Amino acid sequence: MPELPELQVISERLTDLLRGHSLTKVSVHNHIVVHGRTVEDFSSTAIGETFERVEADGKFLILMLNQHDIVINPMLTGRFRVFERYKKPTSIDMVSIQTDGPALWYSDTKKMGRVYLVPKGDYSIVAGFANRGPSALDPTLTVEAFMQRLKFHNGQIKNVLRNQRFVKGIGNAYADEILLYAGILPFRKRSSLSHQETEQLYQSVRNVLTRIREILAERSLDEISKEKRDFLMIHNKGGGICPLCGGRVSEVHANRFKTNYCQSCQK
């Protein structure tokens, strides 16, 4: 699933490609992803408006036009591609947005994503948008603010990291990476963490997400859309070797999510 580092880089790429171009045609290839409007309304309302910029907001991507915003929550398998010429839609293509230049295509193999067209700045109908925490990479999220927010969230620490009400933008894969570098087992209760461990967790959040963002910044939009996460150290490496200590990587499945961890490095 695209998480904060991917979406930040994608937003920058799309801003460079789409800014200043006028929207000429919107095609809905599968209505299941369109929410809050009829397909006809979604397809026609913003025609003629100009792209201003694209922003990443946690796990959402916001395409900002003159009078409207197109908000996309790509969920598990949503992907973004840009084409200069027309292409025939495939079974996984959900929506295409044609401009007087390139066209943006949103595809989703599991058809779980959600796409909204809303009045500019009004996200009241966007499911899961309200009441979220600050971005995990927000410069104003200091270690003190992080620790204070953490006090209000209970349960297993991996679930807390993935909770967008705590901080937004961290998903399943990067939560595993963060906890490896913090040396904390994903099943630990938040209340069991010491002051020092909480500081380690904060530094790990910042360092891991920043490192991943720097790696992705060197890749093309097409490469990112293929989700080649060859930089991951532990997630999806069950049965493999921990890169930090050489121990065996464990794997647990629960509620459709996979958790990988090292019993030697993480306590």
| pLDDT value, residue 86 | 83
Comparing CA positions, the residue from 49, 69, 56 lying closest to residue 8 is 56
d(CA 90, CA 79): 13
d(CA 115, CA 89): 17
Q: Decide if pLDDT at 1 tops 90.
A: no
- Upper half-sphere CA count for residue 192 (Cβ side, 13 Å): 12
pTM for this model (two decimals): 0.94
What is the per-residue pLDDT across 59-89, written as a single tens digit (0 to 9) for each?
Answer: 999 999 999 999 999 998 999 999 998 899 9
What is the per-residue pLDDT across 174-203, written as a single tens digit (0 to 9) for each?
Answer: 999 999 999 999 999 999 999 999 999 999
Q: Decide if pLDDT at 133 tops 80.
A: yes
In the chain, domain spans: 4-119, 143-262
- Upper half-sphere CA count for residue 118 (Cβ side, 13 Å): 19
d(CA 155, CA 158): 9
Are domains 4-119 and 143-262 of this chain identical in fold?
no
**Which token pair is 197?**
């461990």
Whole-number mean pLDDT of the chain? Answer: 96
d(CA 168, CA 93): 27
Cβ of 183: how many Cβ atoms within 10 Å?
Answer: 15
| pLDDT value, residue 255 | 82
What is the per-residue pLDDT across 101-118, written as a single tens digit (0 to 9) for each?
Answer: 999 999 999 999 999 999
* Superfamily of the domain at 4-119: MutM-like, N-terminal (3.20.190.10)
What is the per-residue pLDDT across 217-242, written as a single tens digit (0 to 9) for each?
Answer: 999 998 998 888 999 999 999 999 99
What is the per-residue pLDDT across 35-56, written as a single tens digit (0 to 9) for each?
Answer: 999 999 999 999 999 999 999 9
Say whether domain 143-262 belongs to CATH 2.30.30.50.
Answer: no
